[in-house]
Chain A
């Protein structure tokens, strides 16, 4: 049984298709068209909007630095005020090892995850605001 092979177009029978380079970096920006133009054209709002975004992001950053300071950097102070703490054991490990060797790392990751969520949310709100204008 023979299967007819699909007809091969003769070479150069039709104009070569335009070569388009799509970089993966562009894929996350497909909504650029509409919003980007709106943002650029309303330049009287542009600076105000931008500064509100920077202020919001910086406020978030400061808040999380304060949280980190509270969680981690207060530790040396606490221990030098209460030196008996260092001789305690937590889950069979010396206090220093349990806190600075183990517990601190998940805490850092949780703080980082929370910040990333909130920073992305700030950006989403900003985009919504731009859309409304």
Chain B
């Protein structure tokens, strides 16, 4: 049996598990409460596994290792920030948000500050962040099936969109909570097993001399198969065995690649001799060892301002998590404020365990499989490395396991996103019930499918990093000030949401279309959180100070609701 078909079976099994476990939830899901927040009675460990399962997306499962391989260990700030975001969430919002007892962020905004217009503005940003975050998941699915099975990009996108949309429309959130708790464990196993096996096969990481002042080399004679036509740069002349279309000529046999740019067409194979330096695809920066091991973002990037870039990434990821709507909606499924805190601590532990492993793939690939720098497919390193380093059938089996984990990642994150987007449409915009929710899920899935087909060329982690920047510049100040600052008014909140949201979105769109590619503009536009987050906070504070009359009349009872410990709460009679 070929590697492709083992992988296909693994992906189908994970998809079936998702649908079956989701279907088990259908019998319980009946009321809008069930659909949106799983009737608020999920115990902390399962809820924590579900939150982690939902959170570990394509960006974490594939993107982190790819980014580390491509840009160096400074990119470890991405997973560190993704995890540390939960510490900020714990410190600033977890318990009060749960105690306030609203379903969604727009619910919180209107409940705390009392203005329907604020709810509408907040809903718009829930939709923006949700759909934006959905795109990298769909891209990941397209890429995974392309790498494993050779299907066209749109196949993976369509499969993911259809499975997730039908699952959500049928079961809502109750089913999703079980599915995601299961998927955390699938993902952990799928990344930990190959990582540990690869460390053993490679003879340990401790011998790795990564910091030597030279670009990566092929340690043995290596065949690089090119799946998609790529332009690459050769630093020093090298004679390879070529089979296929190189520089627009069909070559069979030895070929000397001169220093400079070359193009190799899809389907071609190049065999590099042992000890030769690995060429790099256009757009992949060749780095020597000492800048690759630097713990700063953009190290070794001329005019990259590593310190500023690192801090901007830290601001976006540390503060972005607590503004992600699909994560926050999960906190209402905790029993009470104390359970919300405990859940968050467990999440931090579960994420910490998971994030030990992506770096293993990046380090081993740099040492043993630098052909990925040539093809530029660094995002697929987790998928291809087991197969590249282990030639027996076990390499295929580990590759299939990774593929299953990757698909679990796309399925669970897009499920959570779709619940949050469909919930925002049905609950906040249309004020409908279960039927409206189902219809909105179908519509939201269709929109995601169409948009997902357009993002084939964007980097996984860049797309996700931008969502964090927008979330950090909008909902983070809204929640932090709404919970801890009594003088916040709805006018100030809208001013901050618009200023932070629009400025970060504009900066990101400018980067996407290629404005400001070097120096300070690339840092401040490509990673805007460092200035858009303070801007949003200042706008909310000034806006509120100018409109003190707009403070809600029953401010004290709102604060009571946010901060009063459970033991003092009046018993709310059960609704049923």
Q: Chain A interface (Cβ within 8 Å of chain B)?
A: 21, 23-26, 28-29, 31-32, 35-36, 39-40, 46-47, 50, 53-54, 57-58, 61, 64-65, 68, 72-73, 75-77, 79-80, 83, 86-87, 91-97, 99-102, 104-106, 108-109, 111-113, 115-116, 119-120, 123, 126-127, 130
Contact = CB atoms under 8 A, between A and B. Distances in A.
Contact of A104 (B80, B92, B353, B563): B80
B74 interface: yes
21 contacts: A23-B574, A28-B335, A29-B571, A32-B568, A57-B563, A61-B484, A76-B310, A79-B295, A92-B207, A94-B73, A95-B293, A95-B295, A97-B363, A105-B349, A105-B356, A108-B348, A111-B87, A112-B344, A115-B91, A127-B565, A127-B568
A100 B77 contact: yes
- The A contact surface, by secondary structure, is helix
A29 B566 contact: yes
Contacts of B574: 21, 23, 26
Given A25-B336, A94-B293, A115 B90 contact: yes
Contacts of A123: 565
Contacts of B363: 97
A80 B306 contact: yes
B559 A130 contact: no
A80 B296 contact: yes
A99 B91 contact: no
Q: Which 9 A-B pairs have the closest CB atoms?
A: A105-B352, A92-B206, A100-B76, A96-B295, A96-B73, A123-B565, A76-B310, A112-B345, A94-B293
Given A25-B41, A76-B311, A130-B568, A105 B355 contact: yes
B324 to A, nearest CB: 18
A111 B210 CA distance: 31
Contact of B349 (A46, A61, A77, A109): A109
B571 A26 contact: yes
B36 to A, nearest CB: 16
Given A47-B556, A79-B296, A29 B335 contact: no
A50 B295 contact: no
B345 A113 contact: yes
Contacts of B311: 73, 76
Nearest to A119: B341
Interface string B545-576: 00000000000100110011111111100101
B293 A86 contact: yes
Contacts of B342: 116
Interface string B324-355: 00000000000110100110110011011101
Nearest to B73: A96
Contact of B76 (A46, A77, A87, A97): A97
B571 A126 contact: no
Given A26-B571, A29-B571, A68-B87, 12 more contacts: A28-B567, A32-B567, A36-B571, A68-B84, A68-B88, A87-B211, A105-B349, A105-B353, A109-B352, A112-B86, A116-B345, A126-B565
A93 B295 CA distance: 13
A27 to B, nearest CB: 9
B560 A50 contact: yes
Contacts of A97: 73, 76, 293, 359, 363
B91 A100 contact: no
A102 B76 CA distance: 10
Interface size class of B (residues with CB under 8 A): 35 or more
Contacts of B349: 105, 109
Given A99-B295, A100-B295, A36 B356 contact: no
Contacts of A54: 484, 559, 563
Contacts of A39: 564, 568
A128 to B, nearest CB: 11
B570 A32 contact: yes
A127 to B, nearest CB: 6
Contacts of B86: 112
Given A21-B576, A76-B307, A96-B293, A101 B356 contact: yes
B95 interface: yes
A113 to B, nearest CB: 6
A112 B74 CA distance: 24
B149 to A, nearest CB: 32
B335 A24 contact: yes
Given A25-B40, A50-B556, A72-B80, A64 B565 contact: no
B73 to A, nearest CB: 4
Contact of A96 (B294, B556, B565, B576): B294
A47 B40 CA distance: 29
A96 to B, nearest CB: 4
A63 to B, nearest CB: 9
A58 B484 contact: yes
Contacts of B355: 101, 105
Select the residue from B207, B295, B352 with max chain A CB neighbours within 10 A: B295
A61 B428 CA distance: 31
B83 interface: yes
Interface in B48-90: 73-74, 76-77, 80, 83-84, 86-88, 90
